[in-house]
């Protein structure tokens, strides 16, 4: 019996360790009701073309707005990069289907190795089809150029 309890305890601790090593970034439910920070159109030939060519809007929740203003992002800050296709015609550029939703979630302890930010991408309109395969290292490596602003590129305009 003692041994069974011990085995059980070891299994539990192993599974929680495995879980701790691969923290998941949640789909940012409701982000379209958050604050719009900025937009940008990336044309073919831009260095960010693959995979970010398109029209994107950046959103932040209330905690992320605190970070944008102060430079220090509290845990629970979430930033969203909502990337859409676009069509050009009649001297206008219009939004089309969603390509992906990029997400950054701040949690100092969970995402220590990537600057305290968890990175994820969700394909198209899917809330479950995840795009990041390297724990966010590729995302983070580019975002490190923004160390001074908490690894965030976007600035809040007036
Ligand atoms: C090669 C560089 C590069 C890579 C790789 C990259 N990003 Fe970014 N990311 C940017 C730039 C530049 C912006 C700012 C865009 C703007 O000004 O509208 C940005 C903006 C963002 C934002 C909005 C917050 C901010 O920092 O402005 C999120 C969220 C985001 N990226 C998520 C991701 C995710 C998730 C990945 C990996 C799947 C990723 N990024 C990979 C360059 C990169």
- Has residue 59 been placed in a domain? yes
CB 81 within 8 A of CB 103: yes
**Ligand 1 centroid, distance to 58 Cα (angstroms):** 10
Written as six digits, the tokens of 27 are: 């789909």
Q: Which of 58, 146, 149 to mutate to test the pocket of ligand 1 (most atoms within 8 A of CB)?
A: 58
CATH at residue 80: 3.50.70.20
- Residue 9 domain flag: no
Rounded-to-integer distance, Cα 136 and Cα 139, Å = 5
In a domain, 108, yes or no: yes
How far, in Å, is the centroid of ligand 1 from the Cα of 108?
19
Residues having CB within 6 Å of any atom of ligand 1 = 38, 40, 48, 58, 79-81, 102-104, 119-121, 132, 138-139, 142-143, 152-154
- The domain total for the chain is 1
Is 11 within the bounds of a domain? Answer: no
The DSSP output letter for 33 is G
Range of the domain at 43: 24-149
- 25: exposed, middle or buried (Cβ count in 10 Å: 0-12, 13-18, 19+): buried
Residue 158 included in any domain: no
- Per-residue pLDDT tens listing for the chain (158 residues): 566 655 555 555 555 454 446 689 999 999 999 999 999 999 999 999 999 999 999 999 999 999 999 999 999 999 999 999 999 999 999 999 999 999 999 999 999 999 999 999 999 999 999 999 999 999 999 999 999 999 999 999 88
In a domain? residue 6: no
Residue 16 located in a structural domain: no
Does some domain include residue 63? yes
Please report the atom of ligand 1 found closest to the CA of residue 120. Answer: 35
């Amino acid at each position: 019996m003692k041994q069974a309890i011990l085995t059980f305890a070891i299994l539990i601790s192993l599974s929680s360790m495995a879980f701790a090593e691969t923290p998941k970034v949640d789909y940012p439910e409701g982000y379209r009701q958050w604050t719009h920070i900025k937009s940008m159109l990336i044309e073919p030939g831009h260095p960010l073309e693959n995979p970010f060519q398109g029209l994107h809007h950046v959103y932040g929740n209330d905690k992320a707005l605190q970070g944008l203003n102060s430079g220090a992002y509290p845990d629970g800050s979430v930033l969203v990069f909502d990337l859409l296709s676009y069509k050009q015609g009649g001297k206008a550029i219009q939004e089309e289907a969603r390509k992906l939703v990029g997400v950054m979630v701040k949690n100092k302890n969970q995402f220590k190795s990537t600057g305290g930010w968890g990175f994820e991408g969700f394909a198209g309109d899917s809330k479950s089809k995840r795009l990041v395969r390297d724990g966010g290292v590729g995302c983070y490596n580019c975002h490190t150029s923004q160390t001074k602003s908490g690894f965030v590129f976007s600035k809040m305009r007036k």
